[in-house]
Chains A and B, each alone.
Chain A
Amino acid sequence: MFRSRSRLRRPANLALAVCLLLAAGAAGLVTVRPAAAIPRKITRLEPDALDILRSPKKFLRSARRHVIVRPDRLDLMRGPAVVASLPFPGRRGASLAEVTGALAGTPQAGWIEETAPGTFLLRVSLVQAPGSVLEVAAPAVRQVRLLDDPEVYISAMGATARYTGVTVTSWDPGSGRPARNQGGRPFVEYADGSDLRVVRSTFAYLGSDRSSAYGVNWRRATGGATDSVFHHNFFGAYTYQAHGLVFRGNVFRDNLVYGLDPHTASTRLVVEHNQAFRNKVHGIVFSEDVTDGVVRANRAYANGDNGIVIDERSDRNTVSGNLVEGNEGDGIVLLGSSGNLVRDNTVRGNRVGIRVNLRSGDNRVQRNQVTGNRIGIELYGGAYAVRLLANQVGGSVEKGIVLEAPGATSRDDRVTGSPTGVEVRAPARLRGTTVAGADRGIVVTDRGIAAIDDATVRAATAGVEVRPGGLVRVRTSSIESPAPLSGSPPRAVLANRLTVPPGPIPWLAVVGVFYLVVAIALQLLHLSRNRAERNLREVPWGVARW
């Protein structure tokens, strides 16, 4: 029988190898890529959560059950058929408890049931018709549990709802706890002119990867959420073509993909004073034409990928005053988006602190504190005309600022304590840039073209290093380094102050000089002793008479 010579065939050795690998991984010797985006497999609920209002005929072959709150009545439906219609003051802001009470005497009493005081279990979908107003508020309602069924949801068109002080979750009666995501969890969707306002509430364990069924959805709706928690949803909260929403003081945590995901042409959003953490992918992400919004004073940390992302033509947003730290991917990312302002943020301990790429133009990155990232600020891969101003970039593990965006400008940025201060890989202008405590101050790579004015550079190895092919002009700058200008010669230099700091004391040379001085002194002493005899000219001058 063939016997393998591989030592790994032996179980003990194999186990040892696995242990070593694990240890190496734990020690950071094996590179572990940041969590990539979860592969999406989007499905669709058919008929969707609004079709019972728009086109009930779609339910001809369905037995899905709905409680529909209309301005003047409740319709209880099975498929397309109304099985009961109850008078109900749906226009004046009825409570969920009143809805449940209205059903109490009917054969459909079990559709919505108060299982404990203030705890309501929805076994069917609850739908608000246009013009209806629903109050879901403590103390009458404290918990709303949606039975874990792919066809259970809360939805609305043209309606108004207030959720105050309540917890809304999916519910698995078997385990007596919220449901795990198996592809069809209940969700909440307010759409088409609805106004959904959430205050001091929790929405958790909702949604899955079904279109518009991601968790809590504002779809062409208004309103927002304040002081609430969204956790363990597929997306914490999601908007679609929604305008003017306000998310203030919320927590988006532990969601399966994103924390807060304003999407597809949602505009003028205000997202402030929220926390987004431990989401599997991004904390806060604006994606696809989400424009003219404000992301202010939030904290995004410990997310599986990036902290705050502005993505795909999401233009003219302001990202300011946020604390973005410890994300496995990058801190603040602008992807394919233009005209945004990233200002006064604190960004630390991410892979890249602030990243701009993919066809992103005319973005401004100003006055941010960017510390302890692998790369502080990186512009590349389709970004162009990005303007950096007065950013403080410190303690980057590899590079402070990387400029690979044509037409980028860096003005009055300060980089401290990184192996490379600024790396210029494409045409860029630097004015008033300060680099201190770097090995190499400003590096212009083979494809870099840099105009450097009024820079102050202190670097241990090279001040301005130009790689072959790079092109640089250095004017009115102060550069202190053992090699102030190294590599290829600059195209132009003008009025710079180049300083080579004194090196360590050359002891060998000092000893040599000392030896020489002593020798000369001894010789002079000898000459002075023999002065009297010199005039005799008995021997040639300078030869000692011993």
Chain B
Amino acid sequence: MSRGGRRRRRRLAAAGVALLGMTLLGAAAGHLVARPPAERGRYGIREVAGGERLELLGGRMDLPALADALARDGRPDVLARRDGAWLLSRSLVIRPGASLEIDKATLRLRSEPNRLVGLEARGGRLEITDSTVTSWAPGAARPDDRVDDGRAWVLARDGAVMDVLGSRMEQLGYDQTERSGVAWRTGTTSGTIQRSTFAGNWNGVYLQGSRNLRVEDNVFRHNARHGMVLAVGCSNATVRGNQSYANAGHGMVVVQGSNDVTLAGNEVHDNQQTGIDVNNSLRLRLTGNVVYGNDIGLHVRGGARSVVAEANRLTANRLDGLRVSSGATQVTASRNLIDFNQRAGVFIARGSAEIGPANRLLDNEMGVWLSSDARGTAVMDNSIEANVLDGVHLAGSRVGLVRGNTIRANRKAAFSVAFKGSARPFLTENRVAGNPARERVRVDGHPKPTG
């Protein structure tokens, strides 16, 4: 190679290195702009009933900065670092104008029967990123797993912003309002909950009154009550891509006027009560959820209205796949696969619903159960097949409209009825084939779903 050629190559290499360096510097600068370093904030320690409380009053702090400040002021006992984790021994309140960052840290909240520590954002900002926050019983040197004598908690309220991103929030809360685990309360409080795990809490997450929340890609598991609760006007929330399982209560709850909520692509399974419990809320849309192994898959009740369930999988629940009760109305279910439920695929106990089109109700004990209080319900254009007993049960003489369905290969009958002849109007309006009987009167000895 000529000398000139070598020079050109060297210049090109130098230019490449310079470009790479500039890119890295630019990226770093951008990062710094997005996340400026913690600054010294103002705080105070206030005497309250039962002891002291640490309050952040202004500025933006992180745990090391706060610990340094406390140590300089002679109070290293409030926040101490041990075994690579921070132990908070006084309740900490973040007031408006103050901000606390917990980033890539493990924070333990002291949790003893006579000293329960709360981490509370009351108007301030709390950011928990890539961190672990647990209760902590110093005597046992492990998280506090007893809820009967109280337990440390995390709370945001009064317009606070609390973000939980990529973090683990475990063994928190007990059976008391505002201390139920990790809670967002009051109307103007907000935040983002993403990629985090809420395990072993009283309620995994309790969201009350907050609007426009996004709850995405989280895991709610093994909580003592419900996995995730949207309550009291928690409207316009989007709950997407989460898992909620093995909770002692419901997997997900939408209750008390939590309207216009979207639940999409969640996997809710093996909870002791209902998978998704919708109670007294309006205009909900549930789509693409997989709900299995619960008592009831999706329960719409208590005056809930305009609930749309589309393209969900409701399977293998111990009772019903979809249950509509206690006066819920305008429930629409279409394109769902509802199978292997151990009582009814769809059970309309009291209320009205439009079941169809294109639901597939397969291998349930009963395909559809229409109780005598299901007037106004229409079951249309579905596949109701291979159910263990009957395709459709009519518990009253005029309980709804059943039309255009394929009712096939159910193992006892296409219709079971409480009153002989109740199915007669529907026999010609559906494609009925391959059932041992077209109608049978359900006899004693078969389990009957209760209200």
Q: List, in ascending order, chain A residues with CB within 8 A of B315's CB.
A: 406, 426-427, 447, 449
Q: Are A382 and B365 also in contact (CB < 8 A) when A358-B388, A447-B337 are?
A: yes
In B352-385, the 8 Å CB interface with A consists of 362-363, 365
Question: Measured between C-beta atoms, what is the minimum distance from A2 to chain B in Å?
Answer: 38
In A399-428, the 8 Å CB interface with B consists of 404, 406-407, 426-427
Q: List, in ascending order, chain A residues with CB within 8 A of B388's CB.
A: 358-359, 381-382
Whole-angstrom CA separation of A407 from B340 in the bound complex: 10
Q: List, in ascending order, chain A residues with CB within 8 A of B267's CB.
A: 471, 491
Chain B: which residue is nearest A361 at the CB level?
A: B342
Assess whether B293 is interfacial by the CB under 8 Å rule. yes
Assess whether B411 is interfacial by the CB under 8 Å rule. yes
Q: Are A427 and B365 also in contact (CB < 8 A) when A381-B388, A406-B315 are?
A: no
Q: List, in ascending order, chain B residues with CB within 8 A of A404's CB.
A: 363
Assess whether B423 is interfacial by the CB under 8 Å rule. no
Whole-angstrom CA separation of A404 from B341 in the bound complex: 12
In the complex, the number of residue pairs spanning A and B with C-beta atoms less than 8 Å apart equals: 49
* Range, interface on chain A: 10 to 19
| Cβ-defined contact, B290 with A449, below 8 A | yes
Q: List, in ascending order, chain A residues with CB within 8 A of B363's CB.
A: 381-382, 404, 426
- Pick from A381, A426, A447, A471: contact of B411, CB below 8 A: A381
In B383-410, the 8 Å CB interface with A consists of 386, 388
Assess whether B216 is interfacial by the CB under 8 Å rule. no
Assess whether B292 is interfacial by the CB under 8 Å rule. yes
Question: Measured between C-beta atoms, what is the minimum distance from B361 to chain A in Å?
Answer: 13
Whole-angstrom CA separation of A471 from B316 in the bound complex: 14
| Cβ-defined contact, A426 with B365, below 8 A | no
Whole-angstrom CA separation of A404 from B388 in the bound complex: 13
Whole-angstrom CA separation of A233 from B159 in the bound complex: 84
Whole-angstrom CA separation of A72 from B175 in the bound complex: 77
Q: Mask for A436-455, Cβ within 8 A of B = 1, else 0?
A: 00000000000101000000
Chain B: which residue is nearest A358 at the CB level?
A: B388
| Cβ-defined contact, B337 with A406, below 8 A | no
Whole-angstrom CA separation of A348 from B292 in the bound complex: 35
Assess whether B339 is interfacial by the CB under 8 Å rule. yes
Question: Measured between C-beta atoms, what is the minimum distance from B193 to chain A in Å?
Answer: 20
Q: Mask for B261-275, Cβ within 8 A of A = 1, else 0?
A: 000000101000000
Interface of B is mostly: loop
Chain B: which residue is nearest A446 at the CB level?
A: B337
Whole-angstrom CA separation of A471 from B365 in the bound complex: 23
- The CB with the most chain B CB atoms within 10 A, among A358, A382, A384, A471, is that of A382
Whole-angstrom CA separation of A384 from B292 in the bound complex: 13
Whole-angstrom CA separation of A406 from B293 in the bound complex: 8
Question: Measured between C-beta atoms, what is the minimum distance from A379 to chain B in Å?
Answer: 11
- The CB with the most chain A CB atoms within 10 A, among B267, B316, B386, is that of B316
| Cβ-defined contact, A427 with B292, below 8 A | yes
Question: Measured between C-beta atoms, what is the minimum distance from A23 to chain B in Å?
Answer: 33
Question: Measured between C-beta atoms, what is the minimum distance from B366 to chain A in Å?
Answer: 11
- Pick from A359, A381, A426: contact of B316, CB below 8 A: A426
| Cβ-defined contact, B290 with A447, below 8 A | no
Q: Mask for A466-496, Cβ within 8 A of B = 1, else 0?
A: 0000010000000000000000000100000
| Cβ-defined contact, A427 with B411, below 8 A | no
Q: Are A449 and B365 also in contact (CB < 8 A) when A406-B315, A406-B340, A407-B316 are?
A: no
Whole-angstrom CA separation of A491 from B411 in the bound complex: 33
- Pick from B293, B337, B362: contact of A407, CB below 8 A: B293
Whole-angstrom CA separation of A449 from B342 in the bound complex: 16
Whole-angstrom CA separation of A426 from B362 in the bound complex: 11
| Cβ-defined contact, A426 with B340, below 8 A | yes
Question: Measured between C-beta atoms, what is the minimum distance from A446 to chain B in Å?
Answer: 9
Question: Measured between C-beta atoms, what is the minimum distance from A287 to chain B in Å?
Answer: 15
Q: List, in ascending order, chain B residues with CB within 8 A of A361's CB.
A: 342
Q: List, in ascending order, chain A residues with CB within 8 A of B316's CB.
A: 384, 406-407, 426-427, 449
Q: List, in ascending order, chain A residues with CB within 8 A of B339's CB.
A: 426, 447
Whole-angstrom CA separation of A427 from B245 in the bound complex: 14
Whole-angstrom CA separation of A166 from B267 in the bound complex: 67
Q: Are A471 and B342 also in contact (CB < 8 A) when A406-B315, A407-B316, A447-B315 are?
A: no
Whole-angstrom CA separation of A395 from B82 in the bound complex: 58
Whole-angstrom CA separation of A449 from B269 in the bound complex: 11
Question: Measured between C-beta atoms, what is the minimum distance from B290 to chain A in Å?
Answer: 6
Q: List, in ascending order, chain B residues with CB within 8 A of A447's CB.
A: 315, 337, 339-340, 362
Q: List, in ascending order, chain B residues with CB within 8 A of A384's CB.
A: 316, 340, 342
Chain B: which residue is nearest A428 at the CB level?
A: B316
| Cβ-defined contact, B290 with A471, below 8 A | yes
| Cβ-defined contact, B293 with A359, below 8 A | no
Whole-angstrom CA separation of A40 from B130 in the bound complex: 70
Whole-angstrom CA separation of A149 from B362 in the bound complex: 51
Q: Mask for A352-384, Cβ within 8 A of B = 1, else 0?
A: 000000110100000000000000000001101
Chain B: which residue is nearest A491 at the CB level?
A: B267
Whole-angstrom CA separation of A518 from B293 in the bound complex: 64
Q: Are A427 and B293 also in contact (CB < 8 A) when A384-B342, A406-B315 are?
A: yes
Question: Measured between C-beta atoms, what is the minimum distance from A356 to chain B in Å?
Answer: 13
Whole-angstrom CA separation of A471 from B337 in the bound complex: 14
- Given A447-B340, A449-B315; 14 other pairs, CB 8 A cutoff: A359-B365, A361-B342, A382-B363, A382-B388, A384-B340, A384-B342, A426-B339, A426-B340, A426-B363, A427-B315, A447-B315, A449-B292, A449-B316, A491-B267
Q: List 14 A-B contacts (CB under 8 A).
A: A359-B388, A381-B386, A381-B388, A381-B411, A382-B365, A406-B292, A406-B316, A406-B341, A406-B342, A447-B337, A449-B292, A449-B315, A449-B316, A471-B290
Interface residues of B (CB under 8 A from A): 267, 269, 290, 292-293, 315-316, 337, 339-342, 362-363, 365, 386, 388, 411
A-B CB proximity, top 8 nearest: A406-B316, A382-B388, A406-B340, A427-B316, A426-B340, A427-B292, A384-B342, A359-B388
